Amino acid sequence: MANASIAVVRTVAELRDIAAGWRKSGDTIALVPTMGALHAGHIALVNKARSLAKRSVASIFVNPAQFAPHEDFGRYPRTFDADCAKLKAAGCDLVWAPDVKEMYPDGFATRIVPAGAAEGLESDFRPHFFGGVATVCCKLFTQVLPDYAVFGEKDYQQLQVVTQMARDLNLPLRIVGLQTIREADGLAMSSRNAYLGADQRKSAAAMYAAISEVARSVAAGGDIAAATAKARQHMLFEGFEKVDYVEVRDAVTLKPVEAGAGGNRRVLAAAWIGKTRLIDNIAV
């Protein structure tokens, strides 16, 4: 079925047919998993996918398995027609858009339980989250059988969890991470930014400013606890109502780092403005 003249596929059977045809012709495939409400960050992933493989597939699926009952599954922005038009304009070949029954048919009862990089940070506040992400990503990978899957560093812990899962389960694809695309004031683009009112939107830029300052300070040998405490205060002062975490972690394992330790480190943060929870991260 075509939507704004991009091919939209709704069933696993049809998807497999098309992808098998591509593989038979020797075409490589890159997948960009999304939940829709697409912005320039998602389109950057599609551009990367197109540079990696002959064929690109974007999935649009708001995955109920990664939302807790009290979270925003019901009100998550859904802009399917506009998404399809953007994907078409970006040169994407196919939209994979199953409904919930196609992804999780009656009787579905299997769940991937990621540990390692999934421990702590987001999991302390959204314990259901990475199980839902890993399960749907594993399914997306086995449905599309892509050579590459492209993920944003915006969801940095997710990128590490999916990378670990692909390695642990010998999934025959390469996970590729892409840097975060930001608004002019530094705010990471996110579908959830649509929830923000004008004042909240202004306040939201304080998260990037705060974690950037932590990165600078820690890179210069500053005390991690002092830098992260200052970042929390800065965000609260600028209009965030609650800070879930500001942490400096090992960039691959996401384990806490010792004071004074060098190596590859990442600053990660999550905080609330009103009913909106924002996350961001940056390299030290």
The residues of the shown chain that bind ligand AMP, judged by CB under 6 A, are 34-35, 41-42, 44-45, 151-152, 154-155, 178, 180-181, 188-191
| Minimum CB–partner distance for residue 59 and ligand AMP (Å) | 9
| Minimum CB–partner distance for residue 258 and ligand AMP (Å) | 28
The owner of tokens 């009656």 is 106
Looking at residue 143, the DSSP 8-state letter turns out to be H
CA proximity to 151, closest of 185, 184, 117, 105: 117
Looking at residue 182, the DSSP 8-state letter turns out to be B
Is 217 or 249 the residue whose CB approaches ligand AMP more closely? 249
**Taking each helix axis from N to C terminus, what angle separates 12-24 and 129-144, rounded to the nearest 10 degrees?**
50
Q: Which residue is nearest to ligand AMP (CB)?
A: 152
Give the span between the Cα atoms of 17 and 116, in whole angstroms: 36
Helices within 25-169 (DSSP H only): 40-52, 80-90, 100-103, 122-125, 129-144, 156-168
| Minimum CB–partner distance for residue 192 and ligand AMP (Å) | 8
Q: Which two tokens stand for residue 78?
A: 């859904």
| Minimum CB–partner distance for residue 36 and ligand AMP (Å) | 7
Is 18 or 178 the residue whose CB approaches ligand AMP more closely? 178
Residue 42 annotated as catalytic: yes
Is 3 or 230 the residue whose CB approaches ligand AMP more closely? 3
| Minimum CB–partner distance for residue 166 and ligand AMP (Å) | 14
Is 34 or 217 the residue whose CB approaches ligand AMP more closely? 34
| Minimum CB–partner distance for residue 114 and ligand AMP (Å) | 16
Q: What does DSSP say about strands 55-60 and 94-96: parallel, antiparallel, or unpaired?
A: parallel
Is 154 or 265 the residue whose CB approaches ligand AMP more closely? 154
CA proximity to 158, closest of 58, 266, 3, 275: 266
Is 132 or 257 the residue whose CB approaches ligand AMP more closely? 132
Return the SS3 of 186: coil
196 contacts 273 by C-beta, under 8 angstroms: yes
Give the span between the Cα atoms of 32 and 124, in whole angstroms: 27
Query: Which residues are CB-neighbours of 18 under 8 A, at least 6 positions away?
Result: 7, 9, 94
From the list 39, 42, 70, 128, the catalytic residue is: 42
CA proximity to 3, closest of 77, 69, 92, 73: 92
Active site residues: 42
